[in-house]
Amino acid sequence: MCAMDTADRPAAGRGPCAAIPAEQMDSVRQMLDRIGDKWSMLVIAVLEAGPLRYTDLQREVPGISQRMLTVTVRQLQQDGLVTRTAYAEVPPRVEYALTPTGRSLHHVVTSLITWVADHHSQIREHRTQVEDAGTT
């Protein structure tokens, strides 16, 4: 039996994590946490149509506060998923757009959003049944 280099050691024995080296799992979990955030997914989905100014982006993501939008686009920018372009105009204009990496996520994100919308009533019904069963 050959000794396995620690860099080649998988994070898990089976499933999707088995293809990921153990030392990369922390980074993978962080990115899944970021991308899986409800606001990040909605911002990525909205920006697929093209660059948007901050106020337009906030209008297109229902329910997001100014603070959460600022935090979300800043984090997506740090991860290389969104660009922020400031134009030297009066009044100043700033636009946000997906990077090629961000665009590559769009299909996955919209598929998940569509799945949630398609199954919303069944999930809500199941939650109600579980809550009702817990009170009896």
pLDDT, greater one: 133 or 50: 50
Euclidean distance between CA atoms 30 and 28, whole angstroms: 5
For residue 16, is it within any domain?
no
Comparing CA positions, the residue from 21, 28, 27 lying closest to residue 6 is 21
Confidence of residue 2 (pLDDT cuts 50, 70, 90): very low
For residue 38, is it within any domain?
yes
What CATH number did the domain enclosing 112 receive? 1.10.10.10
Euclidean distance between CA atoms 69 and 75, whole angstroms: 10
Task: Output the CA angle 40-43-45, nearest 5 degrees.
Answer: 105
Summarize pLDDT for 91-119 with one digit per residue, the tens.
Answer: 889 999 999 999 999 888 888 888 888 88
Domain range for 39 is 22-135
Q: What is the mean pLDDT of residues 27-39?
A: 82
For residue 27, is it within any domain?
yes
Summarize pLDDT for 35-82 with one digit per residue, the tens.
Answer: 778 899 999 999 999 999 999 999 999 999 999 999 999 999 999 999
Per-residue confidence (pLDDT) for residue 77, from 0 to 100: 96
> 96 pairs with which residues across the strands?
52, 84
For residue 9, is it within any domain?
no
Per-residue confidence (pLDDT) for residue 10, from 0 to 100: 62
Threshold 0.85, pTM exceeds: no
Domain count, the chain: 1
